[in-house]
Structure 1
Amino acid sequence: MATTDRKAATLALAHALSAAERGLAVIPLSRTKLPALRSPHRDEPGPAPCHGACGRFGHGVYDASTDPARIRALFAAAPWATGYGIACGLPPHHLIGVDLDTKPGTDAPAALRALALRHLFTIPETVVVTTPSGGRHLWLSGPSDVVVPNSAGRLAPGIDIRGAGGYLVGPGSRTVHGVYGTDPGTAHLAPAPCPPALLRLLLPPARPPGPPVPEGTGRHGHGLVQFVLDAHAGQRNTRLFWAACRAYENGIGAALAAPLLDAAVHTGLPEPEARATIASAERMAGHRE
């Protein structure tokens, strides 16, 4: 490895460990902004619903951790990594990324201002990450009982949302296009709470009620099942994994496994895939302490 690449890899690990100290779960990224570790299932026939239950690295955002030893192991397995990704939707911040792009013919900042005026919200002072192309990522925190899905251009052209199952390129990462940084005066800030009016715009419409939830799991258990029921195509697995992780973290995973499975199947997720996702969540919940 060239000296420049070694330096970039060392800096990426240092930035990743610093982010983890702030409670942000991270993974190594290559210069292309993609996860640096390839899937261990890439040569296996058919779909691979495994989200880390196999015990190997290479499951993208599902590898994300705040544990320094695990982060060092991830980067040791990917010595070519020159950046790091920050997983969204995980505690304690439940990060939501508002990606304001700079594509020709779009003015994402103006579109966001127009949305704010129309729906009566103000973007609070928060972390702002600058991209090599001139774009900006606004970091916001969401409620612990809400799953914000990923979307591209749904709010307005040039505005992408990074939510549960997605990740943001961390400041200090080096890519083929340059280095990600932070706006002056924002690096020390914590992600500000997402304005309720904006949060409502980020959530898809609710689905009809689904299977019953066992007594004893409380309102939180009912909410997790409903979040799975609210999933639409393209986000069903992500929502199920997120909800199952929260259930196991709160000590109600065993009681909620069957209702979550029923809810996922109700939305159209194949039962074997749903079972594998819940099993992965049970295992992965231990890496997010």
Structure 2
Amino acid sequence: MAITDRRTATLALAHALSAAERGLPVIPLTARKLPALPSPHRNDDHRSTCRGACGLPGHGVHDATTDPAAVRALFAAAPWATGYGIACGRPPHHLIGIDLDVDAADGSDSAASLRRLALHHLFTIPPTVVVLTPSGGRHIWLTGPPGVPVPNSASRLAPGIDIRGTGGYLVGPGSVTAHGRYRVAPGTADLPPAPCPRALLRLLIPPARRPARAGRTDRGRGLVRFVLAAREGERNARLFWAACRAYEHGYGDALADALTHAAVRTGLTEQEARATIASAACLTTAAPDEPWGLSGGSRP
């Protein structure tokens, strides 16, 4: 299916601008659902560390913006774009995408798997935006709390269920791909993204472990190495997980500087790293009746 006509590109920009008006940061995508602009660092040593600080476009999800002028500039630089991506985990919505794939390799029913998880863990998916994919799948839009990065995953929750979190993006409704158009499910277009049920949020975040005996400095070194091994799109999630483990084992404050320096080496700013570590410290010391430090919102 050739998708090169000017009308498709114009509609993609219009849909992206509409999303940006709702506070959803966007980037242009190709018909293959990939960021439309090539990296300006593809031939140098900064391709894996620069997150847009150079001021040039082409940093994938890090280019995502809600500024109309910036959105127009991105699409003007990529006239071949046929759709747009919506960055997850970014303020003000801190979007989390539940991607239900009907074409799972093992033939599983991802929607049925989500229903079983909901019954087992006692949560319900609230009324929210749902986007229908050309393959017959669906994207469920939920929002997360600030300072709690949700990692991206593929079939970790259940076969055929992918999670789009911090560092990831969802294909926006109105986008045209090589397989067809993404569209909002009837009856959900006017809904705001709903808060993620707390029981589901606990499944999406790396699980906590019971505190171990103190004095294991080798454990701290392992957590630092874990952060240093982070790839683009998983830096915040790895840092958050490592910091949670450090605080649970009783040496979070002692390891905070080492974790911060490791995160900065992977491409995060010191401010971002400190904020993530502070969130981990807060969450691991939450009251028993408020798991993960969450309060307010509807109970599952």
- Taking structure 2 as the reference length, the TM-score comes to 0.73
Mapping of residues 177-256 of structure 1, within 5 Å = 177-206=179-208, 234=230, 238-240=234-236
Runs in 1 of length 4+ with deviation above 3 angstroms?
206-209, 228-243, 259-262, 271-274, 279-282
* Aligned-residue RMSD, C-alpha: 3.2
In structure 1, runs of 5+ residues without a counterpart are 210-227, 244-258, 283-289
Taking only the aligned residue pairs, the percentage that are identical comes to 65
Structure 1 residue 272 displacement after superposition: 3.6
Partner of 1:54: 54
Partner of 2:258: 262
Q: Distance in 2 between matches of 1:98 and 1:24?
A: 16
Count, aligned residues: 244
Shift of the 36–64 alpha-carbon distance from structure 1 to 2, 3 Å rule, reads same
In terms of Rg, which structure is larger?
2
Q: Is the 8 A contact 2:25 2:64 kept in 1?
A: yes
Mapping of residues 1-289 of structure 1, within 5 Å = 5-45=5-45, 48-103=48-103, 104=105, 105-206=107-208, 234=230, 238-240=234-236, 262-265=258-261, 272-274=265-267, 277-278=268-269
SS at match of 2:190: coil
SS at match of 2:269: helix
Deviations 1:95-129 (A, max 9, x none): 00000001251100000000000000001111000
Deviations 1:138-196 (A, max 9, x none): 00011112111100000000000000000000000000000000110101111001000
Q: Which region of structure 1 is more displaced relative to structure 2, 135-144 or 200-209? A: 200-209
Q: Distance in 2 between matches of 1:232 and 1:48?
A: 13
Structure 1 residue 230 displacement after superposition: 9.6
SS at match of 1:188: coil
User: Which one-letter code corresponds to 1:147 in the other structure?
Assistant: P
SS at match of 2:71: helix
Structure 1 residue 206 displacement after superposition: 4.5
SS at match of 1:126: coil
In structure 2, runs of 5+ residues without a counterpart are 213-223, 240-254, 274-300
SS at match of 2:5: helix
Partner of 1:212: none
Structure 1 residue 278 displacement after superposition: 1.1
Shift of the 74–261 alpha-carbon distance from structure 1 to 2, 3 Å rule, reads farther
- Taking structure 1 as the reference length, the TM-score comes to 0.76
Shift of the 73–236 alpha-carbon distance from structure 1 to 2, 3 Å rule, reads closer
Q: Distance in 1 between matches of 2:153 and 2:71?
A: 28
Q: Is the 8 A contact 1:164 1:242 kept in 2?
A: no
Structure 1 residue 205 displacement after superposition: 2.8
Deviations 1:48-75 (A, max 9, x none): 3100011110000000000001000000
User: Which one-letter code corresponds to 2:131 in the other structure?
Assistant: V
